Amino acid sequence: MVDQGPKTARSRRTPALPKDAQVKIGEKLKALYDDVVSQPVPDRFKDLLARLDGGSPAMSTGQPETMPGRPEGVTE
């Protein structure tokens, strides 16, 4: 463990933003987070999770699975 010595004045200074600005930013971030959390998981993420869990039909048939938005024949 490294001794960092006594606390400096820098570590005790007041925050760069006023409290009301911090509160407003926190409220906006919480609202954004709540909106994102309430959205459904995209199908491509569900498919990826299924593939990672070994539940992809393409993995069980041995056929490569094409990726959305990729040219035919590109699998990864």
Q: Quote the pTM value.
A: 0.40
Average pLDDT over residues 2-24: 75
Q: What is the sign, positive or negative, of the torsion defined by CA atoms of 65, 66, 72, 76?
A: negative
Instruction: Give 56's contacts (C-beta < 8 A, 6+ positions apart).
Output: 47, 50, 65
Task: Please check the confidence at residue 51 and state whether its pLDDT lies above 90.
Answer: yes
pLDDT band at 35 (very low <50, low <70, confident <90, very high): very high
44-58: average pLDDT? 83
